């Protein structure tokens, strides 16, 4: 994940009056920001280059990023599917099977992924167990493999 590039995306979103950028303060040191509504990234407040006071605040992201007892690790099955203009990848856990747009898995590559339901949010965590972001899976009916 290129954190500088992600911060530039936030800066660009702040300049766009039509963009619905939202943030949630997770604690005194971290803030989560979404520019799309489909994914969110957690930033350390001491390293951000954008003005967080200009972003509309909500508690929703804080709740979405909260850990759940039902969260379980998910791994790629390496099965790829084509759906319109996107590539879908299948992920599987012990009790859950999820389909994900590969643009999100690229964004969070190198992190461990956790999910608790087929259509619930997917958490991305670093090797220390700290949440670095989340994204949403997609509802997908298998059509054809790539």
Per-residue pLDDT of 70-94, as tens digits, reads 999 999 999 999 888 889 999 999 9
Residue-wise pLDDT for 94-107, tens only, equals: 999 999 999 999 99
pTM above 0.85, yes or no: yes
pLDDT tens readout for residues 96-140 = 999 999 999 999 999 999 999 999 999 999 999 999 999 999 987
Q: Beta strands of the chain (E only): which ranges?
A: 22-25, 30-34, 39-44, 56-57, 72-83, 86-92, 97-101, 112-115, 122-125, 131-135
Is the per-residue pLDDT at 17 higher than 90? no
């Amino acid at each position: 994940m290129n954190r500088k590039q992600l911060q530039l995306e936030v800066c660009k979103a702040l300049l766009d009056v039509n963009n619905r950028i939202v943030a949630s303060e997770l604690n005194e040191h971290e803030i989560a920001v979404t520019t799309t509504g489909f994914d969110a990234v957690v930033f350390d407040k001491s390293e951000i280059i954008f003005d967080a006071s200009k972003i509309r605040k909500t508690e929703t992201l804080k709740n979405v990023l909260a850990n759940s007892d039902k969260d379980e690790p998910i791994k790629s099955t390496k099965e790829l599917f084509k759906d319109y203009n996107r590539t879908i990848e299948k992920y599987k856990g012990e009790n859950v099977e999820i389909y994900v747009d590969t643009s999100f898995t690229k964004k969070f590559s190198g992190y461990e992924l956790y999910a608790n339901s087929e259509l619930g949010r997917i958490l991305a965590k670093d090797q220390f167990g700290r949440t670095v972001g989340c994204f949403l899976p997609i509802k997908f009916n298998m059509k054809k493999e790539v």
